[in-house]
Chain A
């Protein structure tokens, strides 16, 4: 670092180089263009990185479409849709943040960055509900996949509690930081701490939202579509219903398929659909070598995406710190712009993941 600083100092003797302009660039525009080109190239690597998983997806969906149809019903498309909306909104706030940084509207900038951070936290909260729900049901990747009928398991919230530990610690830490900011009455710290507390709280908002959609509303729809009863009873009911359809299936495969599709449309998440003992292909689908592969792909894709969300949250926090120092203006907004590009890419990936994973009929 010292080397860099002295170099800057040297240069400053004869050429006015503001602190935000690195010594090896001629002017702000060159710095901006370089940063932006670098970011686009990084996004290229991201696209190709994800393409590996999309390739795996395409291969196995093409090879075993019935597996994907069977497994997709375990994904709650409502949660997926909500998360899509949340991410789209965060993209909006991020784009707005870029605008604010260009116009040096510090308050709006921090607000928008905070909103983006909050949306990311909501997304992860919903995701935590989805994951823990599936883990509870034994919908695990590959060899860990537990067949639904042999092993009827119920929602087990322990996973969710475990997932919430780290965010809870974060929330407490942020709250303490906010208290510290209040005590010192530092404008800078207040500006940083505010969005962080909100974002950490948003995670639990997301968890609440996810839980509500996953259990509460899910059940009401359940009832309305004729599959009444609490989740415990639901297992038995659905198993029966599925038995019936399987019974037809042995006689008339096409009809069996159709009846399965009609069952798909109701949000069946803690419910068992297919019989294991029949000879229809659906029975073979429900095994670790088939459904497990789908969930392997599902967890890889959404997991790597979630890691990208986490990375995005880190850099957005860094931006909030910088924004609170009022570092950005019309000649220096590259960091906001580039983080924005990254964030939109994360959104971009999700735009594809959502229909490909959740909306298979």
Chain B
């Protein structure tokens, strides 16, 4: 118990030498910011639930994904302090999304390409009119 507190004192002493409350690399977030980010996230959650009550067809997934991305952006930027973090960390996490896009993109592109060759078990049992229904439902 005693040892850590002396270190803490030491640390505080260090901090004071630097002339501001905390040493160089700690950036406590103000409470108002935490709370406002949280409420923004809540509002967006309500929005995304609300938009799901409309039938927007194809747009629906894009709208919900956009809202989700805004929420994710808020979480990353503020809760994860990426805004104040070293740029390298931002590059790393955003860079990883490029690879995810690459992975999803190529795989989807390919799957779309050979889709017509697929024999689904449902289509085996299903007559042609059924397929048009799928079209309509889009």
Q: Which of A's residues lie within 8 Å of B, judged by CB?
A: 18-20, 28-29, 32-33, 36-37, 40-41, 43-44, 47-48, 51-52, 54-55, 58-59, 61-66, 69, 77, 81, 84-85, 88-89, 91-92, 94-96, 98-99, 102-104, 188, 249, 253-254, 256-257, 261, 265, 279-281, 284-285, 287, 289-290, 325-327, 329-333, 340-341, 344-345, 347-348, 351-352, 354-356, 359-361
Contact = CB atoms under 8 A, between A and B. Distances in A.
The prevalent SS among residues of B at the interface is helix
A174 B68 CA distance: 36
A327 B4 contact: yes
Contacts of A28: 11, 23, 25
Interface string B104-138: 10011001100100101110011101111110111
A360 B129 CA distance: 24
Nearest to A329: B8
Contacts of A58: 104, 108
B83 interface: no
B103 to A, nearest CB: 6
A224 B120 CA distance: 39
Contact of B76 (A340, A344, A360, A361): A344
Contact of B75 (A33, A280, A333, A344): A344
Interface of B: 1, 3-5, 7-8, 10-12, 14-15, 21-29, 31, 34-35, 37-38, 41-42, 45, 48-49, 52-56, 60-61, 64-65, 67-68, 71-72, 75-76, 78-81, 85-86, 88-89, 92-93, 95-97, 99-100, 103-104, 107-108, 111-112, 115, 118, 120-122, 125-127, 129-134, 136-138
Given A331-B23, A361-B55, A40 B75 contact: no
A122 to B, nearest CB: 16
Main secondary structure of the interface of A (DSSP, over half): helix
A48 B103 CA distance: 9
B136 A257 contact: yes
Contacts of B96: 43-44, 47-48
11 contacts: A48-B100, A253-B136, A279-B127, A280-B130, A325-B4, A340-B80, A344-B79, A348-B75, A354-B45, A355-B52, A359-B49
Contacts of B112: 62
A81 B45 contact: yes
B111 A347 contact: no
Given A55-B103, A95-B34, A330-B22, A325 B1 contact: yes
Contacts of A19: 3-4, 7
A284 B104 contact: no
